[in-house]
Structure 1
Amino acid sequence: MTTTLNAGSWRGTDLGTRTVSYTERDAILYALAVGAKATDLDLVMEDRLRVLPTFALTLAQWAPDELGSRGAFDTKTALHGSQELTVLAPLPRSGEIALSARVGEVWDKGAAAVFEVVVESDYFVATWSLFAPGYGGFGGERGPSKPAGPSGDPTVTTDLVTAGNQTALYRLLGDMHHIHIDPVAAAVIGQPRPIMHGLCTLAASTLPLARELGSHPADLVQLSGRFAAPMFPGDTQPIRGWLGDRGVDFEVGGAITGAHARFEA
């Protein structure tokens, strides 16, 4: 394991390349895990399958894990602060995708550092922002401030309804952390029961949001959001959105704030 005293020295680090493969079955399992219904045939039936763009985030999860395994931060205390996804082309139904990863910016928040992990491919660019307590104070730039929330009444309202077994399904896609399935592990981090994966919550919100906008969730081309609080499987949270020229700004209860999505047919 490589370690460093200066978090800023990780900026620009090459995290390597990887070719990931998946089948139609994997893409269908993902759709079910983020809330697709049996009646959403173009998301759950191989004959007419459209792969949800957010499936890319499970394919690229190895990259932030790689940075943690190299000792850049304490994986037990680091938090997934926010996520961005830019879609460049539709994901194929199955096959292999070459991914490359690097550390982008490393921001100095004083008491913590924020590491950006950027994953690039022919199909998407994804950026993780990882909040690492205890790794700030290295003399770097603080980075952008939290943007102001939208003002006025929302122009789009709907609900994110989650299933009681949603985390049990989602973890089969690679994030096997025990806090999403084991009540004992959840209690260790001060939660009354297992919590939703942040990426599952963010991705799941795009399905009802797309329906409310008259779009298809597979037509997503841009997505971002901050993880503000945990959500629990089986819960329902309101989605409030504010339409603009370049998509919709939205929030999911208290769980996700500062979010943005854009759909293009």
Structure 2
Amino acid sequence: MTASPWRGRDLGTRTVSYTERDAILYALAVGARASDLDLVFEERLRVLPTFALTLAQWAPDALGALGAFDIRTAVHGAQRLTVLGPLARSGEVSMTARVAEVWDKGSAAVFDVEVASERFVATWSLFAPGCGGFGGDRGAGAPKRPEKPADQRLAVTTHPDQAALYRLLGDRHHMHIDPEAARAAGMPRPFLHGLCTLAAVTLPMAQRLGAHPADVVELEARFAAPVFPGELLDVHGWQDGDAGLRFETSAHERTAISGGRIRFRSTRPTGGPPIQEEDHHA
């Protein structure tokens, strides 16, 4: 096998600061409500672990700026997050980033960009058309959907203005706000950030498991199709131990998130049998 010249590339170190306002804005952007005081009120604030992904967004952007792939056609294929400790209400996070691996998919390549800090390790998998064919390893295939019926089913309503709000957290790619940029990317209209969709469905999953959404310790998923602001998401979840779920998310019967897996630090009894359907608003 031949390794890509980008494999192992050091993307540098960066320290990013944030305030309580940033963490609260993030919680609101991914679906927290005014009544979720420990997510939106500074006196009780617990920072959602997925907020770390907005702080580390510089790393995949840096790789694109170096010319590893065409930023106009590359897409976010998958995301992994391992939480090592809680984020403070405000402060700064020092991170180092590197290209952990480059997978050869033939006509395309997948770049795994790993960002590490004392609080988390996050990996972006970026699908880049036209960058494959260098003789490298293809990597693992997509995980299979569980064959048994889902243990949980949740309905999550996204907001028509959600992409416009979420992009204020750092990912300002034009395709999420500008109709012309979205059409240039092959989409009929601006679409929701994959990381916003992913974070939005973690909130009701935490509630269903009797966990706190700030207690996520592991999260991973593949982005299979776009979600458009205002669409209803259908989440299917399969119990994965006492504090975890495997899940898939669809919108209008097209799979948007596949191979999902989430685990929480702890759960509490829900006081009754599993509920098969719930309606939540993102």
TM over 0.5: yes
The alpha carbon displacement at 1:181 in A equals 1.3
**Which amino acid is the alignment partner of residue 264 of structure 1?**
R
**Aligned-partner SS, 1:255:** strand
Query: Is 1:249 equivalent to 2:246 in the alignment?
Result: yes
126, 131, 149: which one aligns with 1:135: 131
**Aligned-partner SS, 1:125:** strand
How far apart, CA to CA, are the structure 2 residues paired with 1:150 and 1:232? 26
Correspondence for 1:124: 120
Assess if the C-alpha contact under 8 Å between 1:162 and 1:233 holds in 2: yes
How far apart, CA to CA, are the structure 2 residues paired with 1:225 and 1:7? 25
Query: Is 1:51 equivalent to 2:39 in the alignment?
Result: no
The alpha carbon displacement at 1:7 in A equals 7.5
How far apart, CA to CA, are the structure 2 residues paired with 1:207 and 1:79? 25
Correspondence for 1:261: 262
What is the CA deviation profile of residues 156-175 of structure 1, one whole-angstrom value per residue up to 9, with x for unaligned ones?
Answer: 11112111111111000111
Unpaired runs of at least 5, structure 1 = 1-5
Correspondence for 1:200: 196
Q: Give the TM-score of the pair, scaled to structure 2.
A: 0.90
The equivalences for 1:76-225 within 5 A come to 76-225=72-221
Correspondence for 1:29: 25
Correspondence for 1:3: none
How far apart, CA to CA, are the structure 1 residues paired with 2:216 and 2:118? 16
How far apart, CA to CA, are the structure 1 residues paired with 2:112 and 2:67? 15
How far apart, CA to CA, are the structure 1 residues paired with 2:119 and 2:128? 29
60, 63, 66: which one aligns with 1:64: 60
Unpaired runs of at least 5, structure 2 = 267-282
Runs of at least 4 residues of structure 1 off by over 6 A?
none
Assess if the C-alpha contact under 8 Å between 2:72 and 2:185 holds in 1: no
Q: Provide the aligned C-alpha RMSD in A.
A: 1.2
How far apart, CA to CA, are the structure 2 residues paired with 1:41 and 1:52? 13
